[in-house]
Chain A
Amino acid sequence: AQTVTQSQPEMSVQEAETVTLSCTYDTSENNYYLFWYKQPPSRQMILVIRQEAYKQQNATENRFSVNFQKAAKSFSLKISDSQLGDTAMYFCAFMYYANSKLTFGKGITLSVRP
């Protein structure tokens, strides 16, 4: 079974600065996908970014990028130029190639200070 670990329960960052959220996972599989989801105070979960394990290139979506280290089973999210609207819970998630089940970490609460 896959496990996803987010060891930091909360972080805080100054507006316009950069912050990195950590995630590690454990799996014996070779083909899988990794995701970061955001849950703002409105509770609506939305996808931030995804990464295919077979791709060496790190995914990037505007101010959001990942550092994917497959051998270390690490998948961190970097948020550049933090904005107040980035304040939310962030969840790292794993999906095995053969099915569509998403396994989530415990999440991290990010606060962006003005």
Chain B
Amino acid sequence: DVKVTQSSRYLVKRTGEKVFLECVQDMDHENMFWYRQDPGLGLRLIYFSYDVKMKEKGDIPEGYSVSREKKERFSLILESASTNQTSMYLCASSLRGANTEAFFGQGTRLTVV
């Protein structure tokens, strides 16, 4: 059974903290993605990676960075968390190439107080 696992389901952090959201997939997928989901805005792409150590900015990269040192792991980093980063974060992975299904993690609901 294919699996994308996000390290936390719920997370509460303080403003200004450095926050790490971890995502691991066991399907040997080349592509990995981080999305942010907000009510009324759908899913917006923050960053994606198409190979180890490779990354590209998505539509809303400001305030975020990513790291992919190993193929199976893709980390989203909030350098200095702010309250407007309170959101649901979804990680996904897929095989390289078009028309490939993206598999999603269960999401991390982050609250910044």
Contacts and interface: CB of A to CB of B under 8 A. Distances in A.
A33 B94 CA distance: 14
B104 A106 contact: no
Interface residues of A, number: 27
Contacts of B33: 101-102
Contact of A106 (B31, B42, B90, B100): B42
Nearest to B88: A43
Interface in A24-83: 31-33, 42-47, 50, 52
B94 A104 contact: no
A44 to B, nearest CB: 6
Interface residues of B, number: 26
- Most chain A beta-carbon neighbours within 10 Å: one of B42, B50, B92, B101: B42
B48 A106 contact: no
Contact of A104 (B42, B50, B88, B97): B42
Nearest to B41: A106
Contacts of A52: 99
22 contacts: A33-B98, A33-B99, A43-B88, A43-B107, A44-B106, A45-B104, A91-B43, A96-B98, A99-B98, A100-B31, A100-B48, A100-B94, A100-B97, A100-B98, A100-B100, A101-B45, A101-B48, A101-B58, A102-B92, A103-B45, A104-B42, A106-B42
Interface of B: 31, 33, 35, 40-45, 48, 50, 58, 88, 90, 92, 94, 96-102, 104, 106-107
Interface of A: 6, 9, 31-33, 42-47, 50, 52, 91, 95-107
